[in-house]
């Protein structure tokens, strides 16, 4: 079953184009709005699963609506569509838990991919935007590691063996193996040989920044 959607944009042609495209693709579009006040009213009334919002609109911007939805504990997932390629706006969107950020010039090409991802609770940010901002996403899983686990992961990234890590941290090799096992679980890696080392090498710069 398709997620329920409302859309809002103060540019009539963009709004109509997006609305027609989604209906043609059999998406469940409940309603559309031409400004932020209307959009917020539609979200309050319909409690849609997804709201596709222009960032810059009269009364409330897409970001202001996202903030209000957070404050009101609404479950609606917000997707922003915009011409903005601004790092400050991107970071603000991320901090508000935005589920999607699609550039208008690629909206019709990307919106389906975005909706598919958001339906699976996976955030989608336009590849063109990330490339423009040269944003490198820090793996979320790093946040779940304890300080010791993060230190073990850093030493793994630096090609240290389990015995050497045990010496550095003044613990037994068995304790290091236990830490490794916990890290593998938290990072959702397979238990195949070297899977942890490969992940650590691929994400070395993020690991070093965050430890």
The H-or-E segment that residue 33 falls in is strand 28-33
- The total domain count for the chain is 2
176 pLDDT band, cuts 50/70/90, is very high
Mean pLDDT of 127-138: 70
Instruction: Pick the more confident residue, 122 or 65.
Output: 65
Residues 68 and 11 grouped into a single domain: yes
Q: Are residues 104 and 48 in the same domain?
A: yes
Q: 1 or 70: whose pLDDT is higher?
A: 70
Q: Among the three residues 80, 110, 133, which one is the final residue of a domain in this structure?
A: 133
Task: Give the whole-angstrom CA distance, residue 208 versus residue 200.
Answer: 10
124 and 149 inside one domain: no
Say whether pLDDT at 123 is over 90: no
Q: Which two tokens stand for residue 205?
A: 């710069």
Rounded distance, CA 126 to CA 113, Å? 10
Q: Is there a single domain that holds both residue 72 and residue 147? A: no
Global pTM? 0.63
Exposure b/e, 169-185, CB count within 10 A at least 16 = b: eeeeeebbeebbebbbe
**Residue 138: its pLDDT value, please?**
65
* CATH code, domain carrying 205: 1.10.10.10
Confidence of residue 159 (pLDDT cuts 50, 70, 90): confident
Listed residues 109, 133, 157: the one ending a domain: 133
| Residue-wise pLDDT tens digits, 45-95 | 999 999 999 998 999 999 999 999 989 989 999 999 888 788 888 888 888
Does residue 166 register a pLDDT over 90? yes
Between 138 and 22, where is the model more confident?
A: 22
User: Residue 148 above 80 pLDDT?
Assistant: yes
Distance CA 121, CA 117 (A): 6
Domain that holds residue 144: 140-209
If one counts every other C-beta atom within 10 angstroms of the C-beta of residue 71, the result is 8
CATH number at residue 104: 3.40.50.2300
In degrees and rounded to multiples of 5, residue 35 shows phi and psi of -155, 170
What's the pLDDT at 188? 84
Tell me the mean pLDDT in the region 195-206.
80
Do residues 110 and 39 share a domain? Answer: yes
Among the three residues 90, 109, 133, which one is the final residue of a domain in this structure?
133
* Domain identity same for 40 and 129: yes
Same domain, 63 and 157: no
- Please tell me whether residues 129 and 167 are part of one structural domain: no
State residue 65's pLDDT score.
95
**Same-domain check for residues 74 and 158:** no
Q: What are 13-56's pLDDT values in tens digits?
A: 889 989 999 999 899 999 999 999 999 999 999 999 999 999 98
């Amino acid at each position: 079953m398709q997620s329920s959607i409302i859309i809002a944009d103060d540019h009539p042609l963009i709004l109509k184009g997006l609305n027609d495209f989604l209906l043609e693709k059999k998406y469940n579009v409940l309603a559309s709005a031409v400004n932020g006040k209307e959009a917020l009213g539609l979200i309050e009334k319909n409690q849609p699963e997804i709201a596709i919002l222009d960032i810059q609109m009269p009364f409330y911007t897409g970001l202001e609506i996202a903030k209000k939805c957070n404050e009101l504990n609404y479950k609606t997932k917000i997707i922003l569509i915009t011409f903005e390629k601004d790092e400050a706006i991107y970071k603000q969107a991320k901090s508000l838990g935005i589920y999607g950020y699609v550039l208008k010039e690629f909206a019709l090409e990307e919106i389906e991919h975005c909706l598919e991802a958001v339906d699976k609770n996976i955030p989608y940010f336009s590849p063109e935007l990330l490339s423009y901002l040269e944003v490198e996403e820090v793996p979320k899983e790093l946040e779940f590691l304890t300080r010791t686990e993060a230190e073990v992961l850093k030493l793994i990234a630096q090609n240290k063996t389990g015995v050497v890590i045990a010496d550095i941290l003044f613990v037994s090799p068995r304790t290091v193996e236990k830490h490794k096992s916990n890290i593998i679980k938290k990072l959702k890696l397979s238990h195949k040989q070297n899977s942890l080392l490969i992940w650590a090498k691929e994400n070395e710069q993020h690991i070093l920044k965050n430890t």
